[in-house]
A and B are shown apart, each in its own frame.
Chain A
């Protein structure tokens, strides 16, 4: 049955609690649009979220959802997926949630190739707690905990995901909405661990601290500093490389585990026969 975004977003729960000009609404709409285009049944979708501004996205969704502790969304999603491989499992995480406190789960979910889609709102800071720096904050940024400029080099989420073995890795920004929707749709359709790193704007903190005074200024910043041409994929050479960086086919965990279960069944029958001397 054809669907629209309000088959997934609960209209009665609007408006969003996010600040004016926050990019989270754009990402959430793109996700709902992807669900609708793919005609997914809400009962077959499990959205797993962590803690943060973006982690509250499930408040507006009518799909199944599991809102967990800060950083652990992918670990919880791993449990869901391992038990029922038929579910569409989508993890929504901030840059803090997904690759800083949750960095270990991120690389291991990618390595294991769990069939989960990770959509990261990468706003370069901890929005929820007042704009402190995260593991993706570009150097040298000004944040609530780096008033003299941060001195820690940031993670490139796509490079990290690729190195850890994810079969689908893409980056878009909240300015490039068509691209964003397309990548999210591709990611959800990919069997295996798929990552969409969404460069997002947090006008309230990152913008204010870094002389990007309004949502419009932040959007222009994304427009003017994004490129699909950067060969080395490094997003932090003053320009955000956007595009699909990895798109390959690779057996996912659940497919391989189903095979393992078959082997285990046969082996244990064999073992029992051996033990009983048949």
Chain B
């Protein structure tokens, strides 16, 4: 089988991945540095029978995704900081109604409208906790154009498999750089499980052992109620405390029980690493380069690259941190993922490498910090 090889921008690769995964609906509101995704979606989707719609704002975009998802489409959107903030309301709606969909946030420098065209990685905790209430969330982070394509397919797969929104946390650097990408065919595409019972027996929120309820679509023989408010297996309101406890825990556990299936990380030279970098997105690229530079100077460095940042890969961090002398966490913010790392570092000292001037953390900056820390260790 010949697989297409292209030279694409990260944002373009996201769209290719989405189409490969079967996406047929996009609703969004343009914002730098994500707009290329909307523009390409508007061209490609209608030609394959899909729908692109430019909504009046991101509140509406996210709500439209939920409607489209319930009508049976694989749905997605792309945005950045200010738009991602507006999406938080109905991201919660997608969680509560269990509407599979994918939300791409190409991170830019904030707060507020901030430095619109410049990169940052400061929405890590917003991705985890931006929408109110107890909830679990899956968040994937690409470090390259190839990963934009690959992980986008996984993002849709996870959303379909677990009936949940998935956040695709890219950044301006990865989104706008151009690299070679193989539009591979070897990642199997997953579709939501359709109910197997009789239509009149169908309960839209009755889950089996895996805690994920099978999903019908509007217009099928399976009539159903989906609700933003507390509901039981039938989809109709049930405000008892027992029910609330059951629902909130199931929504959480359907993701946390399957974290092994969801967790994607990559390790570079971690086997014997004294200096362990833990990073994600654009910063992980520099960290990987720093590993090479340090190794050539005979300092044993290694990198744990986190692609699934939520749920956080705590077991993996524990295992690797235990063996290292120091752990360093480069990230383009004032310290977000480092707090998770510290929780699981098993006493190994952890240092941040942080930058918020909207320029990338360079490999040399990482190397220098590693040497400084080692000297004092």
Contact = CB atoms under 8 A, between A and B. Distances in A.
A261 B46 contact: yes
Given A65-B235, A105-B56, 17 more contacts: A42-B223, A43-B223, A58-B225, A63-B223, A64-B223, A68-B63, A78-B63, A78-B64, A78-B67, A79-B69, A82-B27, A82-B64, A83-B51, A83-B73, A108-B55, A261-B49, A264-B47
Q: Which 9 A-B pairs have the closest CB atoms?
A: A79-B67, A79-B64, A75-B60, A75-B63, A79-B68, A83-B71, A264-B46, A76-B67, A268-B47
A72 B60 contact: yes
15 contacts: A43-B220, A66-B67, A66-B225, A68-B66, A78-B64, A79-B65, A82-B51, A83-B67, A83-B68, A83-B73, A84-B71, A84-B72, A84-B219, A87-B218, A104-B56
B205 interface: no
B67 A80 contact: yes
A77 interface: yes
A9 B92 CA distance: 29
Interface stretch (B9-17, B178-186, B226-234, B271-279): B226-234
B53 interface: yes
A6 interface: no
B111 to A, nearest CB: 24
B57 interface: yes
Interface in A58-108: 58-59, 62-69, 71-72, 75-84, 86-87, 104-105, 108
A260 B73 contact: no
Contacts of B237: 56, 59
Given A69-B228, A87-B71, A80 B51 contact: no
B89 interface: yes
Interface in A99-144: 104-105, 108
A211 interface: no
A79 B89 contact: no
A166 to B, nearest CB: 15
Interface of B: 24-25, 27, 43-44, 46-47, 49, 51, 53, 55-57, 59-61, 63-73, 75, 89-90, 92-93, 97, 218-221, 223-229, 235-237
A267 interface: yes
Interface of A: 13, 42-44, 46, 48, 51, 56, 58-59, 62-69, 71-72, 75-84, 86-87, 104-105, 108, 257, 260-261, 264-265, 267-268
Contacts of B236: 13, 59
Nearest to A56: B237
Contacts of A108: 55-56, 60
Nearest to A112: B53
Contacts of B75: 79
B63 to A, nearest CB: 4
Contacts of A264: 43, 46-47
Given A66-B70, A77-B67, A79-B68, A72 B93 contact: yes
A265 B47 contact: yes
Contacts of B44: 268
B219 A78 contact: no
Given A79-B63, A104-B60, A67 B229 contact: yes
B40 to A, nearest CB: 12
Nearest to B72: A83
A166 B59 CA distance: 22
B64 A76 contact: yes
A79 B75 CA distance: 9
Given A75-B55, A79-B68, A83-B25, A64 B218 contact: yes
A196 B67 CA distance: 22
A64 B224 contact: yes
Given A64-B224, A83-B73, A76 B46 contact: no
B92 to A, nearest CB: 8
Contacts of A68: 63, 66, 90, 93, 97, 228
Contacts of B51: 82-83, 257
Given A62-B223, A64-B225, A267-B47, A78 B53 contact: yes
Given A83-B68, A261-B47, A78 B55 contact: yes
A4 B51 CA distance: 36
A16 B155 CA distance: 42
A64 B25 CA distance: 21
Contacts of B71: 46, 79-80, 83-84, 87
B132 to A, nearest CB: 11
B225 A65 contact: yes
Contact of B46 (A43, A48, A260): A260
Nearest to B53: A82
Contacts of B219: 43-44, 46, 64, 84, 86-87
Contacts of B235: 65
Contacts of B220: 43
A69 B49 contact: no
A63 B226 CA distance: 11
A69 B135 CA distance: 17
A58 B66 CA distance: 17
Given A64-B218, A260-B46, A267-B47, A75 B67 contact: yes
